[in-house]
């Protein structure tokens, strides 16, 4: 907000440019001031529409402890599980590619090491559909790798379930395998996440209401309202810096 006549410039400050957030010493629920990188001024934080602030900013946060100055990202609860799930998927792709490989194994009975080396130098791998003839002292077989891995479907489901729990969503919201899920159980699982989303919508609504109410209080304070309650001038458009 400009320190002039009550006009508000609505803009957005990147969280990475916020240097420090201070809470009120006797009440951690109240955010008191904010410092932005590159500016020496300390900006007051608007908490109620009636706050007597000449130059300040709005600060909206989510997913944080009461006495914390920073919130957590949406992916924070599941970031480690997502990384593990990503590693698992790529390792499975590599395993599948290895299973397509094979080697020719020749058994040469009675051959010395030197004879085996000479034999290998003068031979090539059999061609597909070719004919190979040998006596009773020689045998040949194609060997494919057997990596002896466990069933990765259960392991994938374990990580996947952890991601769903971290987000607070049932599995069928993110795409499920269909195990133990039917129409009735799926419907029962919908209520908790929907309630959480409604609660978050309410917080966003209150944030927008604070912006509008504060603007109206400032307009009244600086007599920028008409008798009909309309503003004499519009607020400044988004994109302008709130720091002047």
Q: Are strands 42-45 and 56-57 parallel, antiparallel or unpaired?
A: parallel
Where residue 178 falls among pLDDT bands split at 50, 70, 90?
low
Closest CA to 5 of 229, 224, 234: 224
Is the pLDDT at 205 greater than 90? The verdict is yes
When the pLDDT of each residue in the chain is averaged and rounded to a whole number, the result is 79
Residue 201's pLDDT is 92
103, pLDDT greater than 60: yes
Q: Are 56 and 1 in contact, with CB atoms under 8 Å apart?
A: yes
Residue 1: its pLDDT value, please? Answer: 44
pLDDT tens by residue, 64-74: 888 888 888 78
**Short-list 80, 46, 73, 60, CA closest to 12:** 60
Q: What is the mean pLDDT of residues 214-227?
A: 78
Q: Quote the CA–CA distance of 38 and 138 in Å, as a whole number.
A: 80
171, with CB counted inside 10 A (0-12, 13-18, 19+), is buried
pLDDT at residue 244, rounded to an integer: 34
Q: Is the pLDDT of residue 59 over 50?
A: yes
Tokens linked to 188: 């029962």
pLDDT at residue 242, rounded to an integer: 40
The whole-number pLDDT of residue 28 equals 86
């Amino acid at each position: 907000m400009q320190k002039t006549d009550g006009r508000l410039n609505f803009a957005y400050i990147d969280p990475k440019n916020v240097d420090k957030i201070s809470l009120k010493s006797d009440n951690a629920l109240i955010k008191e001031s904010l410092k932005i990188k590159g500016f020496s001024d300390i900006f007051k934080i608007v908490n109620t529409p009636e706050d007597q602030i000449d130059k300040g900013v709005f600060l909206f946060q989510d997913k944080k402890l009461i006495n914390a100055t920073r919130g957590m990202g949406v992916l924070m609860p599941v970031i480690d599980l997502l990384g593990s799930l990503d590693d698992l998927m790529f390792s499975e792709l590599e395993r599948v590619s290895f299973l397509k490989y094979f080697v020719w194994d020749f058994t040469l009975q009675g051959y010395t090491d030197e004879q085996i080396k000479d034999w290998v130098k003068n031979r090539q791998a059999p061609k597909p559909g070719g004919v190979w003839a040998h006596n009773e002292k020689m045998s040949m077989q194609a060997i494919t790798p057997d990596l002896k891995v466990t069933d990765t479907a259960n392991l994938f489901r374990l990580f996947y379930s952890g991601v769903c729990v971290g987000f607070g969503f049932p599995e069928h919201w993110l795409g499920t395998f269909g195990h133990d899920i039917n129409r009735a159980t799926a419907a029962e699982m919908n209520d908790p996440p929907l309630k959480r989303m409604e609660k978050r919508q309410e917080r966003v609504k209150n944030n927008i209401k604070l912006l509008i109410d504060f603007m109206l209080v400032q307009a009244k304070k600086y007599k920028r309202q008409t008798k009909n309650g309309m503003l004499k001038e519009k607020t400044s458009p988004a994109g302008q810096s709130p720091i002047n």
